[in-house]
Amino acid sequence: MRNAKHEEALINTFFLPGRQKRALTQLASHRKRSQFLNRLSHLDRDYIDERYISVIPAARQDASSLYALLKLYGAFKTGYCISQWKELDYKELPVQDALRKVVGAGWGTLISLMPGKLVFYESEKGTRFILKQQDYSGSGMESFTVPYVEPAPALDDGWEGPVWCNIDAVVLAHFRPEGSDHFPHTRAKLLFSNNGLYGMFLVEDRYVVCRHTGYMDPVHTDSCVEFFIKPKKETGYFNFEFNCGGALRASFIVDPTRVGDRFKEFIPLPEEDGAMIKVYHTLPGIVTPEITEPISWFLAFYIPFALLERYVGHLGTLSGQRWTGNFYKCGDATSHPHWASWSPLPERNFHLPECFGELTFLGGATECGV
């Protein structure tokens, strides 16, 4: 049975405006539908708005890897098929089953996984890509609200602790194509109290390793999570990088332009400043050899506003303020390197403040530190 909701949302979101009317007319007509389906053998940029195309790397072209990636992007449990293959056209199937049928079958097919938000495409010759809706209205930003909580939670309360269970999580669903076929499901939460920021990561991982234990060690080469935050438009931003064993690397970046292996203008946070940041982690400080089986791990952190104010000046009352930032997951020197972010990146570079998402603080009437 035709699902007009999926078809109309797909065409109106991802097709070029000049192609939409005719495509919708063809899809809605039993007699003309074949004209549209024939086009699926080779759907190119003459029809698709290329801003939404997400290229699938060579290592992730099989059905099982695609399924894992689409789940991270929020795919529904079932997908609606528009296909040259009569056995599939009009069908709504479990996503994994649909991919198994479509990948490599030689039939041009669109699978709508979230109406107007997420689509998988396979051509007749096996070319495939993902269409993913993002905000192109001007800001291009992901966004979420950072709630105020007082009294502040303990770092070891856990993901579903009495305070944290009511805090919405963001998903680090944007993976760089340079990575391996490992897509760790990573979520993050953030809140603030009178004195500072509290955050946590929950990672469903594999190929976990942790070799570094010292402050300012290259923790990004281990199984690592990172939080970057920019409190004011006119100042720099902070990068806080934590490996799964709790080791920290932190800097204040004024100009992230690369000069050799360094930034043009930055301040590594001295050890006395780093000591102000508190970290709780569930894995030991050293993890070797690498854990290759599935494992979940948790890391929570506290960053006092007093530390941030040393570099950006007085923060004032946070309620209503909009900061920018991003959350990341990486593992540069693990057996399965990967680079994931909450707000998407156009290249494999975490230090792109213009790609940060928006964080809006809500609640709390007093100034920071009061």
Q: What is the pLDDT along the chain (370 residues), one digit of tens a residue?
A: 899 999 999 999 999 999 999 999 999 999 999 999 999 999 877 899 888 888 787 767 899 989 988 887 778 899 999 999 999 999 999 999 999 999 999 999 999 999 999 999 999 999 999 998 764 333 446 888 999 999 999 999 999 999 998 898 998 988 888 888 888 999 999 999 999 999 999 999 999 999 999 999 999 999 999 999 999 999 999 999 999 999 999 999 999 999 998 999 999 999 999 999 999 999 999 999 999 999 999 999 999 999 999 999 999 999 999 999 999 999 999 999 999 999 989 899 999 999 999 999 998 755 666 6
Per the structure, the complete domain to which residue 288 belongs is given by 143-362
**Residues 209, 97 share a domain:** no
Residue 141: its pLDDT value, please? 62
Residues contacting residue 11 through CB under 8 Å, at least 6 positions apart: 20, 23, 24, 27
- Domain count for the chain, please give it: 2
**Residues 313, 185 share a domain:** yes
How far, in Å, CA of 53 to CA of 44, rounded? 10
Question: What CATH number did the domain enclosing 213 receive?
Answer: 2.60.40.1190
- What strands, in cross-sheet order, belong to the sheet with 196-205? 170-171, 185-192, 196-205, 295-304, 278-281
Domain edge (last residue) among 67, 102, 132: 132
Domain edge (last residue) among 132, 153, 176: 132
Domain annotation covers residue 163: yes
Residue 142: its pLDDT value, please? 81
Omega prior to 151 cis, within 30 of 0: yes
Domain edge (last residue) among 89, 107, 132: 132
Residue 363: its pLDDT value, please? 84
Residue 164: its pLDDT value, please? 93
How far, in Å, CA of 278 to CA of 300, rounded? 8
Say which amino acid occupies 186: T
Domain annotation covers residue 137: no
**Residues 248, 154 share a domain:** yes
**Residues 169, 32 share a domain:** no
**Residues 356, 275 share a domain:** yes
Domain annotation covers residue 332: yes
Residue 133: its pLDDT value, please? 78
Residue 138: its pLDDT value, please? 38
How far, in Å, CA of 36 to CA of 83, rounded? 10
**Residues 297, 190 share a domain:** yes
